[in-house]
Amino acid sequence: MKRILSGINPSSTKGLHLGNYFGMIKPAIDFQNEGECFYFIANVHSLNLVFDPNDVKNNTMNIFTEFLAFGIDPQKTVYYVESDIPSITYLQTILNNTVTVAELSRMHGFKDKLTKDADIQSINAGLFSYPVLMAADILAFDADVIPVGEDQSQHVEICREMARTFNNRYGDVLKIPELFIKKQVARVKGIDGERKMSKSLGNDIPIFAEENVIKKQIMSIKTDPARIHPTDPGDPNKNVTFDYLELLEYDKEKLIEMKERYKKGTIGDVEIKQILYEVFLEYFKDMRSKKDELSKNQDYILELRRKGAKRANDVAEKTLQKVKLAVGLS
């Protein structure tokens, strides 16, 4: 049986968005019927950005609850929090020696930060070695398949490289994982209609936010700029609202008809966005109420976290022992 593994970085107070859901969460939830899944909240990763300990704690529990509300089956899936598994960070230290500074400096997280801030003095080493921690997350569990959105593919590639370097040096110890990216949803666009939807860019639609926040984001979607009046003909390809409606499985016939009306200028952008708002709330209705219900039951959540940690530690400790033996540390 294949082992599937993926994680989410709880680096924002805003919670999970449409891009996270279609890019990674939905495929991950579906994988629960196909293999043995290991899903986790990558809270150690968030430390390179989130410095307030209360935020770290709250974001971790919030994202843990949200991912669960999307349909994690904690009986089948090993569901845990990264910081509860100390073998991961131990493994990271060992894996630091399988990758060069030059390779890490080509990683886009570091490069983007360098271009934006243009100051190497202000970039912490946690961000620089982020891909090594991610490799440790993966390799500690002998994972076969890693479902992620496109933005994480470079990280999974370098993880594969690190595992190969390790195995060349010490023998066949680490499993080389496969990247899994669902093409159609690899890069869900943000409400600016251009860049990838991202919590840090503010172009996201958060799934569990208050209705007024969701509405505000939907009403701010950038549409065809050439269309000034609702009666002007528009290009549906320049309006990401239609893409979202398609993702949310809006009736195909109605969508075709709406696009035709858009081309002719017989439907306004506000009307389309209002439809999206309703479709969005309906699509996520059960998950939103599941989160509300789970949030009221902190004891249950904490118990799940403890149980997940136990199951995950059993696996990761074994890998770490193998690795320590291979490199001469035990």
**What DSSP letter does each residue of 291-308 carry, written as one string?**
HHHHHT-HHHHHHHHHHH
Contact indicator for 131, 103 with CB cutoff of 8 Å: no
With binding defined as CB under 6 A, does residue 19 bind ligand TYM?
Answer: yes
Q: Which of 84-92, 141-149, 240-248, 254-262 is the region at the interface with ligand TYM (rule: CB under 6 A)?
A: 141-149
With binding defined as CB under 6 A, does residue 182 bind ligand TYM?
Answer: no
**Contact residue for ligand TYM among 37, 148, 218, 240 (CB under 6 A):** 148
With binding defined as CB under 6 A, does residue 45 bind ligand TYM?
Answer: yes
DSSP bridge partners of 78: 38
With binding defined as CB under 6 A, does residue 6 bind ligand TYM?
Answer: yes
The amino acid occupying position 110 is F
Toward ligand TYM, which CB reaches closer, 184 or 298?
184
Residues contacting residue 197 through CB under 8 Å, at least 6 positions apart: 17, 18, 19, 188, 189, 190, 191, 203, 204, 205
**Contact residue for ligand TYM among 41, 188, 304, 326 (CB under 6 A):** 188
Query: What are the structure tokens assigned to 264, written together?
Result: 């002719």
With binding defined as CB under 6 A, does residue 8 bind ligand TYM?
Answer: yes
**Contact residue for ligand TYM among 113, 160, 196, 290 (CB under 6 A):** 196
Toward ligand TYM, which CB reaches closer, 127 or 326?
127
With binding defined as CB under 6 A, does residue 187 bind ligand TYM?
Answer: yes
CA distance 287 to 289: 5
Give the containing element (helix H, strand E) for 180.
Answer: strand 178-180
Q: Counting runs of H as helices and runs of E as strands, what totals does the chain give?
A: 15, 5
Toward ligand TYM, which CB reaches closer, 239 or 262?
239
**Contact residue for ligand TYM among 55, 103, 144, 151 (CB under 6 A):** 151
Size, binding site for ligand TYM by CB under 6 A: 25
With binding defined as CB under 6 A, does residue 48 bind ligand TYM?
Answer: no
Measured from the CB of residue 185, what is the shortest distance to ligand TYM in angstroms?
Answer: 6
CA distance 166 to 155: 16
**Contact residue for ligand TYM among 78, 88, 104, 134 (CB under 6 A):** 134
Measured from the CB of residue 266, what is the shortest distance to ligand TYM in angstroms?
Answer: 31
**What DSSP letter does each residue of 65-109 carry, written as one string?**
HHHHHTT--TTTSEEEEGGG-HHHHHHHHHHGGGS-HHHHTTSHH
**Contact residue for ligand TYM among 4, 15, 23, 272 (CB under 6 A):** 23
Q: Could you tell me the end-to-end alpha-carbon distance of the chain, in angstroms, rounded to an integer?
A: 30
Radius of gyration of the chain (CA): 21
Q: Which of 93-101, 168-176, 191-199, 317-325 is the region at the interface with ligand TYM (rule: CB under 6 A)?
A: 191-199
The site for ligand TYM (CB under 6 A) is made up of: 6-9, 19-20, 23-24, 42, 45, 134, 137-138, 146, 148-149, 151-152, 185-188, 196-198
